[in-house]
Amino acid sequence: MEPLYTQDYEVTDIAVDCYGRMKTSMILFLAQEVAGRHCVSLSVDYDTLAAKRMFWAVTRHRVQITRLPVRGETIRIETWPMPTTRVAYPRSVVAYDAAGKECFRSVSLWVLMDLDKRSMILPGKSGISVIGTLRGTELDTPGGLVAKPLQNHRSRQVCFTDLDRNGHMNNTKYMDWIDDLLPSLFHEQHTPREFTVCYLSEAREGQTLDIHWDFLEEGVLQVDGHRNSGETAERIFSARFLF
């Protein structure tokens, strides 16, 4: 099976913000969507894995943005799996406009999870094989983000519409939550050039996340989300944006 999967996507109203530019959450949605469709052709899709009591979970994303697609455009998205590591299945995505110019690219790290125990299954013990390839254009896979002291704070509860089929907060929803931390005027004047997001633990319905954020330097935003667990605050996600 060809390791490259391609799909065209028309940028409609649901994909853009109030300025007509693609939302960061939609970039991750499209990366997830094309990966899912490719997995169908590779026979490692959601239903196939669920029958084996497993599911895919993304642990990290890194995205570089040349320009955000706008409403009315049709973009072409390419995705391919990279060689499997000891713990994860990396995947690359690139999006092009109608003129063939790059809009954005991403690399994500996917792991297999036990559907019942909610624990990670190493590739060597999963029985799941994905043949990866390197085309020479892939981004470096993202590392972890070091926690920082951040000045601003807001709490938000995980609700029904935040959940996906795995019963936890979908990775795209974190991006909407992060975008909501900053006012429209900021978004009008600034667009992200790059961002990294790390998912460290599941967020489930009804749980309250304490979100801390700050600009560490000009144009560099860091966001950390914690869940209170007894006397300690468990770090659930972290993100770093370059504007």
Q: What is the distance between the alpha carbons of residues 176 and 196, in angstroms, rounded to a whole number?
A: 14
Residues of 203-226 as b/e, b for ≥16 C-beta within 10 angstroms? beeebebebbbeeeeeeebbbbbb
Give the residue with greater pLDDT, 77 vs 230: 77
pLDDT band at 47 (very low <50, low <70, confident <90, very high): very high
Q: pLDDT at residue 208 above 60?
A: yes
**What is the extent of the structural domain holding 86?**
5-126
Q: What is the pLDDT of residue 213?
A: 98
Residues 55 and 115 in one domain: yes
- Per-residue pLDDT of 73-106, as tens digits, reads 999 999 999 999 999 999 999 999 999 999 999 9
pLDDT exceeds 60 at position 1: no
Please check whether residue 33 lies inside any domain of the structure.
Answer: yes
For position 214, which CATH number holds?
Answer: 3.10.129.10
> Domain for residue 133, yes or no?
no
Query: What pTM did the predictor assign?
Result: 0.94
Domains held by the chain: number: 2
Are 122 and 165 found together in one domain?
no
Looking at the fold, whether 16 and 74 belong to one and the same domain comes out as yes
Helix (H, G, I), strand (E, B) or coil at 100: coil
List 61's β-bridge partners, or say none: 108, 197
| Residue 138: inside a domain | no
DSSP 13: G
Mean pLDDT over the full length of the chain: 96
Q: Is residue 17 part of a domain?
A: yes
